[in-house]
């Protein structure tokens, strides 16, 4: 039983490997996956409609709740879009604070992810260590913003709280500690043979496929393509920050892990630089209630890749159309490509490899494979 | 007596995200990790609803997930308890008007403990679970 | 390629097909084209100008018409938004997954949420949104009010 | 006299003692595993959480019992009972309170090996009887895994027997005492191979493939609830004790009194040490994939095990 | 095996766990817990109601009978209300142990002369509020 010619194996919506409810229907031939039908939409909450029905100020809190992991990315993207529509310029100090928050978020998100990928590989001890160390970042968040996960710090016209010199010292101090920890992860993932066995040559995504299927973020950079919105299309204060865009040529789960760990080192560098050079002055300007008619595209490099918001205003206090495209959705075609032809036991680790966060994906996705026919478009190329 | 002691001393949890924003979920997972370590209470995370005593649900219930939630709840052997973690799970709050949201967890299954917070800190979650355990311990046969 | 350059090249190629073209700030270009020139515009941008990365397709409700906005990015991170309008009665666009491999996923989204049909898009089967959601109700259309949608939601719950 | 023997079987060093020890070791394992990860582990159920396994067991007994419609009811009933009683019965062949086990005969080592095989068969039946996809995959994986470790395990386990010229565990313990030596000192390779195979037998990381939570939920146990699950957990704890007792007896001298320390205490100390090594080791690895595990077992472990046999033959021959 | 060094180190160290219900949790200044009202200061201007994104605040009634209703089960602890209040009548307290068995007890009513409370004790305004 279970090993007949091709069997269908459901995966989710409630499954220990997915902390979020999603459903994948795998077609198996023995122990090999021959087809994937993602069936998403379990987390579809209707945020786009809600955003169009709420004022710019209230919408900020909905944008923040597109996802609890990259809230800073989404609020940066939201505020940036609305500020462009309103025509307000954010004070430089606020830009620096947003940059610091974005990078802290990258640290927390990537270390969370290192833990998760370890967990998927059955490496619970590393998972525990990574999450323990992540707490240091969360307490920083708590000190800076008053909340551990949803920060409510970005606001239209700047940020709501300042980073005082004492706080800056605390951040530096935590960075010192965290740098040591990241180096330790780097050593562990590069040398632990069982972990390497599970991640090397698993979930291969060729650079040409990655580019054609428009993968984003570490998934793309793990296939050797150096693209990063922070460098290519600088926003907030990134044009003043020195940092390297990390990529790795492995094209497998291990390469994606490596990219993330190295990015953490870069983030620490950016935070230090920004703290040292933070301009003085106000950190918030008043935002008007209404935005004049207009439209704009706003892009942000979230920890998982490029996040894009499109806003169109009509002169009222509410957006006329607000569109969100979050990184996980962009990675789905590439994910389906990776999942075909692999071993069943590798499914969780490959899924985890793109760091899928469905809550943002479903914000809009309505791709639901039909019973027999429906698969994602990528299936067609396979 | 002994039964209540055993039940309150060995709550096994199953986690179910019904459509939340991940904020609650990562805080819930954080509660399992060293800094909060709910295993102190004997709490174990279970993958199968068949093995669980407490359903820890996060997020507003989307129309699509409602049936799955119901099914997971039905699969759990009684006595079973439900903890709604986070404002969304309590009332669906920021999303409660959205067209594909049914509301809080209690719009689908009965809830024993509500833990407001967006997201609740891991301590607040522990507080909610501890209150539930206390109630189980005190329960008359 | 920078934004003004992209706008200029698009206008040169499409001529009368362009209804509106702007480059409001560096790295952002908006070009609105006539329905007839739409396919040509996308192909030109993707294949000749190098805007090969499709970020997303936004579907919008513009009163009598529906609008689809294709957000394309090139290597220099310039975002070119090509938009096209179709009347509500005949809201069909060609499927672009020939040139943009990941277009289908966004096209399906646009169809589900806004009711723009895509000629040649497979996976016609089934409806959007939660199970049992009526296939002719597109929640992002402006004429769909919250109360209206809430009624559908209530019906779903009863099932 | 008969009552005394019955008492021995039921209370000490028989069933009751074994069950208590098994629960204690589950606690030791969880506690140590948690400490390695920088956590406390169970803390509030009993002093330092020591009653945790008991609470788990009692709670499961008091839970609702669900029998899935699709499953085979008879098997579904029999499997948990067998799973708990088999290791318990096998434990009677382990010297616990004295160098002589309650049941000792020449060849009980073979029986123990057979019992390990049986455990896997029961697991297979368990997964198969519950008619669920995850359970089925779990049990197939379990059987595949057994095929790969059973042979090296059998090979290395006969080495102490060859050295002691006895196929009885008690005999091997007594031989070690008589020669004032330890199996571990004579056959370190054998000990290492045994430990690896037993990690696989117990389905611990890196070989917890049949229970890989992130892949197939709870593997073959997915569908079991209530007292059935309680018995599975008990059987599992007893199996850990059995394995620890086996290692302690064959390689660490087993239940021999040392000066004033009684045999039972030595037994407890040695088995506890083995359990702690297991839980420490399982914290250090990632899970392997089933094909990697099987090929590793055949490629590396089997030759090493064979080498050990040859070495022992040479040692005995000389 | 490469994690063995760290693992051995852990065994010698005390776990980093905060033994929460036994030990008290430490909450930093500025933490956004449950908002509390100082009705002495409130002028019933409704700005907080308008600012609240999930609609957790409502003004009920008029004149001397007017009450402010605060719905704990809807609040997302965003601090908008405290920020917008012209009289600084709202402050984010440090209270986060808000779990309850009954949702109907999660509504609070505040009146200018007295405070009608739900399940929780009257939040004292001096209660370790973030910003005094
Ligand atoms: S991938 Fe990340 S966000 Fe998604 S369920 Fe897993 S942990 Fe949560
Ligand atoms: S998933 Fe998207 S379309 Fe659906 S409600 Fe959320 S934001 Fe709106
Ligand atoms: S990818 Fe989406 S769901 Fe995941 S963390 Fe980012 S915004 Fe959140
Ligand atoms: S309560 Fe807040 S953090 Fe939790 S799921 Fe809802 S929005 Fe996210
Ligand atoms: S407090 Fe401000 S908003 Fe309220 S009535 Fe007075 S002036 Fe107007
Ligand atoms: S904290 Fe935010 S959600 Fe809560 S009452 Fe104040 S404004 Fe409303
Ligand atoms: S703005 Fe307020 S009322 Fe509107 S959807 Fe958001 S939370 Fe609900
Ligand atoms: S904003 Fe302040 S003064 Fe106005 S009603 Fe609210 S609490 Fe009272």
Q: Where are the domains of chain C?
A: 3-126
Q: Give the alpha-carbon dihedral of A213, A215, A219, A224, to 10 degrees.
A: 70
- Say yes or no to pLDDT of A4 above 70: no
Which chain A residues have a beta carbon less than 8 Å from that of E77?
147
Nearest ligand 5 atom to the CA of E87 is: 1
Of chain C, the percentage scoring pLDDT greater than 90 comes to: 0
Whether residue B21 and residue A67 make contact (CB cut-off 8 A), yes or no, is yes
Q: Which of C52, C122, C129 sits opposite A41 (nearest CB)?
A: C129
DSSP letters spanning A147-198: -SS----EETTEESS---HHHHHHHHHHHHHHHHHHHHHHHHHHH-HHHHHH
ipTM of the complex: 0.80
Look at residue B127 and tell me if it is in a domain. yes
With a 6 Å cutoff on the Cβ, whether E52 touches ligand 8 is: no
CA of E99 from ligand 2 middle (Å) equals: 29
Long-range contacts of C83-87 (CB under 8 A, 24+ apart): C83/C30, C83/C31, C83/C32, C83/C33, C84/C32, C84/C33, C84/C34, C84/C35, C84/C38, C84/C41, C85/C32, C85/C35, C86/C35, C86/C116
B81 with A50: CB under 8 angstroms? no
User: E strand or H helix at A229, and its extent?
Assistant: helix A229-232
Which of A22-36, A72-86, A274-288, B66-80 is predicted with the least confidence, judged by mean pLDDT? Answer: A22-36
User: E strand or H helix at D183, and its extent?
Assistant: helix D183-186
pLDDT of residue E120: 44
Q: What angle do CA A199, A201, A204 make, to 5 degrees?
A: 105
How many domains is chain B built from? 1
Neighbouring C-alpha atoms within 13 Å toward the C-beta of D248: 30
Whether residue B42 and residue D229 make contact (CB cut-off 8 A), yes or no, is no
**Helix (H/G/I), strand (E/B), else coil: C135:** coil
- DSSP-assigned letter for residue A368: B
E→D contacts (Cβ < 8 Å), by residue, are: 1, 3-4, 7, 10-11, 13, 15-17, 19
d(CA B126, CA B132): 10
Q: What is the mean pLDDT of residues B114-141?
A: 82
A51 with A322: CB under 8 angstroms? yes
pLDDT in tens, A156-178: 888 888 888 888 888 998 898 88
E16 φψ region: left (φ > 0), alpha (ψ -120 to 50), beta (else): alpha
State both tokens at A298: 């706003």
pLDDT profile of chain E (132 residues), mean per 10: 71 75 78 85 85 86 80 86 88 84 82 55 38 30
Largest distance between two CA atoms of chain C: 57
D164 with D190: CB under 8 angstroms? no
Split at pLDDT 50, 70, 90, the class of A42 is low
Q: What is the mean pLDDT of residues C123-128?
A: 50
User: Cβ of B2 under 8 Å from any chain D Cβ?
Assistant: yes
User: Cβ of D136 under 8 Å from any chain A Cβ?
Assistant: yes
Nearest-CA distance from A160 to chain C in Å? 27
Domain enclosing residue B67, as ranges: 2-134
User: E strand or H helix at E83, and its extent?
Assistant: helix E80-84
B113 with B84: CB under 8 angstroms? yes
Largest distance between two CA atoms of chain B: 47
Whether residue A343 and residue D291 make contact (CB cut-off 8 A), yes or no, is yes
CATH number for the domain formed by residue range(s) C3-126: 3.30.460.80
- Say yes or no to pLDDT of A277 above 80: yes
SS3 string, B55-108, reads: EEEECCEEHHHHHHHHHHHHHCCCCCEEEEECHHHHHCHHHCCCCCEEECHHHC
With a 6 Å cutoff on the Cβ, whether A50 touches ligand 7 is: yes
pLDDT of residue E123: 43
pLDDT in tens, C93-103: 888 878 887 78
Q: Which of B63, B97, B107 sits opposite C130 (nearest CB)?
A: B63
Split at pLDDT 50, 70, 90, the class of A57 is confident
Nearest-CA distance from B139 to chain A in Å? 31
Domain enclosing residue D203, as ranges: 4-317
Look at residue B115 and tell me if it is in a domain. yes
pLDDT of residue A369: 25
Nearest alpha-carbon partner for E18 in D38, A48, D186 = D38
Question: Cα D190 to chain center, whole Å?
Answer: 17
- Say yes or no to pLDDT of A370 above 50: no
Nearest ligand 5 atom to the CA of E43 is: 1
pLDDT of residue D220: 65
State both tokens at C78: 């310039």
The CA distances from residue C100 to B59, C32, C106, in Å, are 35, 19, 11
Nearest-CA distance from C150 to chain B in Å? 6
Interface of B with C in 1-60 (CB under 8 A): none
pLDDT in tens, A78-111: 998 898 888 888 898 988 999 999 999 888 888 8
**Helix (H/G/I), strand (E/B), else coil: A36:** strand
- The answer to whether domain E28-111 has CATH 3.40.800.10 is no
Which of A62, A65, A78, A150 for mutating ligand 7's site (highest number of atoms within 8 Å of CB)? Answer: A62
Chain B interface, mutation test: which of C112, C127, C153, C155, most B Cβ atoms within 10 Å?
C153
B50 with B90: CB under 8 angstroms? no
pLDDT of residue C127: 42
Report the chain D residue with the minimal C-alpha distance to residue A127: D37
Q: Cis peptide before E109, with omega less than 30 degrees from 0?
A: no
Look at residue B140 and tell me if it is in a domain. no
Low-confidence ranges of chain D (pLDDT < 50): none
How many domains is chain D built from? 1
A105 with A148: CB under 8 angstroms? no
Which chain C residues have a beta carbon less than 8 Å from that of B99?
139, 146, 149-150, 152-153
Range among A56-65, A116-125, A196-205, D105-114 with highest mean pLDDT value: A56-65
Question: Cα E110 to chain center, whole Å?
Answer: 15
Whether residue A132 and residue E32 make contact (CB cut-off 8 A), yes or no, is no
pLDDT of residue E131: 31
Which of A27-41, A193-207, C12-26 is predicted with the least confidence, judged by mean pLDDT? Answer: A27-41
Q: Give the alpha-carbon dihedral of D115, D120, D124, D129, to 10 degrees.
A: 50
Look at residue B112 and tell me if it is in a domain. yes
pLDDT of residue A322: 87
Nearest alpha-carbon partner for A133 in A99, A167, A107 = A107
Which of A11, A18, A40 for mutating ligand 1's site (highest number of atoms within 8 Å of CB)? Answer: A18
Global pTM? 0.82
d(CA C9, CA A312): 25
d(CA B101, CA B115): 19
- Say yes or no to pLDDT of A323 above 80: yes
Which of the pair, A218 or A372, is modelled with greater confidence?
Answer: A218
Q: What is the mean pLDDT of residues A272-277?
A: 89
The residue contributing the CA closest to ligand 7 atom 4 is A54
Residue carrying the six token digits 């009705």: E39
- Say yes or no to pLDDT of C88 above 80: yes
**Count of other CB atoms within 10 angstroms of residue D280:** 18
Question: Cα A30 to chain center, whole Å?
Answer: 34
Which chain B residues have a beta carbon less than 8 Å from that of C130?
62-64, 100
Split at pLDDT 50, 70, 90, the class of A382 is very low
Cα dihedral D17, D22, D24, D28 sign = positive
Which chain A residues have a beta carbon less than 8 Å from that of B17?
19-21, 43
pLDDT of residue E113: 66
Domains of chain A by start residue, with CATH: 7-44+329-379 (no CATH), 47-326 (1.10.645.10)
pLDDT of residue A6: 55
Neighbours of chain E (3+ CB pairs under 8 A): A, B, D
pLDDT in tens, A278-301: 888 888 888 888 888 888 888 888
Neighbouring C-alpha atoms within 13 Å toward the C-beta of E97: 14
pLDDT of residue A377: 26
């Amino acid at each position: 039983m279970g090993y007949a010619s091709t069997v269908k194996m459901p995966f989710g919506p409630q499954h220990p490997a997915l902390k979020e409810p999603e459903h994948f229907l795998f077609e198996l031939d023995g122990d090999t996956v021959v087809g994937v039908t993602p069936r998403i939409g379990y987390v579809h909450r209707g945020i786009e409609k809600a955003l169009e029905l709420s004022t710019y100020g209230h919408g900020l809190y909905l944008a923040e709740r597109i996802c609890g992991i990259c809230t800073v990315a989404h609020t940066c993207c939201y505020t940036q879009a609305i500020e462009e529509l309103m025509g307000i310029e954010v004070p430089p100090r606020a830009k620096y604070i947003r940059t610091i928050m974005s990078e802290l978020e990258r640290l927390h998100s990537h270390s969370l992810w290192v833990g998760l990928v370890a967990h998927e590989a059955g490496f619970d001890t590393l998972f525990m260590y990574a999450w323990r160390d992540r707490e240091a970042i969360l307490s920083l968040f708590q000190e800076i913003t008053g909340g551990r996960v949803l920060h409510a710090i970005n606001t239209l016209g700047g940020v709501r709280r300042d980073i005082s010199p004492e706080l800056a010292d605390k951040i530096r101090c935590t960075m010192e500690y965290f740098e040591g920890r990241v180096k330790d992860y780097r050593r562990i993932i590069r040398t632990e043979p069982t972990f390497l066995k599970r991640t090397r040559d698993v979930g291969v995504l060729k650079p040409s496929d990655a580019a054609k299927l428009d993968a984003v973020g570490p998934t793309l950079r793990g296939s050797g393509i150096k693209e990063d919105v922070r460098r290519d299309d600088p926003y907030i204060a990134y044009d003043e920050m020195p940092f390297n865009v990390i990529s790795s040529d492995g094209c497998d789960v291990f390469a994606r892990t490596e990219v993330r760990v190295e990015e953490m080192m870069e983030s620490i560098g950016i935070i230090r630089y920004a703290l040292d050079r933070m301009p003085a002055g106000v950190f918030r300007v008043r935002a008007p209630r209404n935005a004049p008619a207009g439209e704009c595209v706003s892009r942000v490099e979230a920890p998982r890749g490029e996040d894009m918001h499109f806003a169109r205003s009509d002169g009222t206090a509410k957006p006329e159309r607000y569109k969100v495209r979050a990184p996980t959705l962009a990675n789905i075609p590439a994910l389906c490509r990776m999942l075909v032809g692999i071993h069943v036991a590798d499914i969780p680790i490959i899924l985890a490899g793109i760091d899928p966060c469905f809550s943002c994906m479903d914000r809009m996705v309505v791709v639901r494979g039909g019973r027999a026919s429906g698969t994602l478009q990528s299936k067609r190329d396979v | 007596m002994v039964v209540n002691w055993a039940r309150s001393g060995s709550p096994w949890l199953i986690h179910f995200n019904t459509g939340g924003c991940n904020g609650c979920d990562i805080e819930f997972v954080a509660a399992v990790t060293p800094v909060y370590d709910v295993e102190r209470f004997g709490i174990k995370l279970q993958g199968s609803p068949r093995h669980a005593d407490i359903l820890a649900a996060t997020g507003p219930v989307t129309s699509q997930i409602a049936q799955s939630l119901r099914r997971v709840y039905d699969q759990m052997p009684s006595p079973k308890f439900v903890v709604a973690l986070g404002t969304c799970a309590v009332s669906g709050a920021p999303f409660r008007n959205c067209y594909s949201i049914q509301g809080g967890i209690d719009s689908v299954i009965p809830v024993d403990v509500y833990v407001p917070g967006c997201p609740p800190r891991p301590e607040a979650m522990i507080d909610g679970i501890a209150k539930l355990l206390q109630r189980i311990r005190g329960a008359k046969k | 390629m920078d934004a003004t350059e992209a706008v200029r090249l698009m206008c040169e190629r499409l001529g009368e097909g362009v209804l509106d073209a702007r480059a409001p700030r560096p790295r952002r270009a908006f070009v609105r084209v006539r329905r007839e020139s739409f396919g040509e515009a996308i192909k030109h941008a993707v294949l000749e100008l190098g805007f090969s990365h499709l970020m997303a397709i936004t579907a919008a409700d513009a009163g009598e018409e529906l609008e689809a906005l294709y957000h394309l990015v090139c290597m220099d991170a310039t975002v070119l938004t090509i938009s096209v309008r179709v009347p509500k009665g005949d809201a069909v666009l060609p499927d672009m997954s020939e040139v943009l491999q990941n277009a289908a996923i966004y096209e399906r989204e646009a169809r589900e949420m806004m009711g723009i049909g895509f000629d040649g898009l497979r996976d016609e089967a089934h409806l959007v949104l939660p199970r049992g959601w009526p296939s002719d109700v597109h929640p992002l259309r402006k004429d769909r009010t919250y109360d209206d949608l809430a009624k559908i939601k209530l019906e779903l719950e009863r099932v | 006299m008969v009552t005394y023997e019955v008492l021995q079987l039921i209370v000490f060093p028989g069933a009751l003692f074994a069950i208590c020890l098994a629960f204690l070791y589950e606690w030791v394992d969880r506690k140590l595993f948690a400490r390695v990860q920088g956590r406390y582990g169970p803390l509030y159920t009993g002093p330092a959480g020591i009653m945790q396994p008991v609470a788990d067991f009692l709670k499961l007994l008091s839970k609702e019992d669900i029998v899935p419609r699709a499953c085979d009811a008879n098997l579904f009933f029999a499997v948990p009972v067998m799973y708990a009683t088999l290791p318990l019965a096998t434990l009677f062949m382990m010297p616990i309170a004295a160098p002589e086990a309650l049941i000792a005969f020449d060849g009980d080592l073979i029986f123990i090996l057979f019992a390990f095989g049986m455990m896997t068969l029961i697991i297979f039946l368990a997964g198969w009887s519950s008619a669920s996809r995850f359970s089925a995959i779990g049990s197939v994986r379990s059987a595949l895994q057994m095929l790969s470790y059973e042979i090296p395990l059998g090979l290395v386990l006969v080495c102490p027997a060859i050295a002691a010229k006895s196929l009885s565990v008690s005999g091997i313990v007594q031989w070690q005492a008589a020669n004032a030596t330890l199996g571990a000192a004579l056959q370190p390779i054998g000990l290492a191979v045994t430990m690896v195979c037993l990690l696989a037998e117990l389905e611990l990381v890196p070989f917890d493939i049949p229970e890989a939570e992130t892949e197939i939920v709870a593997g073959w146990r997915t569908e079991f609830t209530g007292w059935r699950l309680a018995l599975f957990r008990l059987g599992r704890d007893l199996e850990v004790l059995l394995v620890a007792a086996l290692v302690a007896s064959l390689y660490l001298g087993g239940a021999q009194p040392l000066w004033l320390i009684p045999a039972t205490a030595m037994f407890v100390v040695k088995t506890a040490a083995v359990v702690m090594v297991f839980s420490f080791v399982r914290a250090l690895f990632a899970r392997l994939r089933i094909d990697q595990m099987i090929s590793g077992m055949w490629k590396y472990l089997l030759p090493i095990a064979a080498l050990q046999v040859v070495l022992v033959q040479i040692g005995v021959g000389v | 095996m490469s994690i063995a060094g760290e693992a051995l180190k852990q065994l010698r160290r005390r776990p980093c766990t905060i033994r929460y219900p036994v030990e008290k949790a430490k909450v930093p200044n500025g933490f956004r817990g449950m908002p509390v009202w100082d009705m002495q200061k409130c002028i019933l201007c409704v700005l907080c109601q308008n600012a609240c994104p999930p609609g957790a605040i409502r003004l009920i009634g008029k004149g001397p009978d007017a009450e402010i209703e605060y719905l704990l089960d809807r609040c997302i602890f965003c601090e908008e209300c405290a920020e917008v209040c012209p009289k600084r009548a709202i402050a984010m307290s440090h209270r986060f142990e808000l779990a309850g068995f009954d949702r109907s007890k999660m509504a609070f009513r505040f009146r200018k002369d007295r405070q009608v409370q739900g399940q929780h004790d009257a939040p004292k305004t001096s209660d370790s509020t973030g910003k005094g």
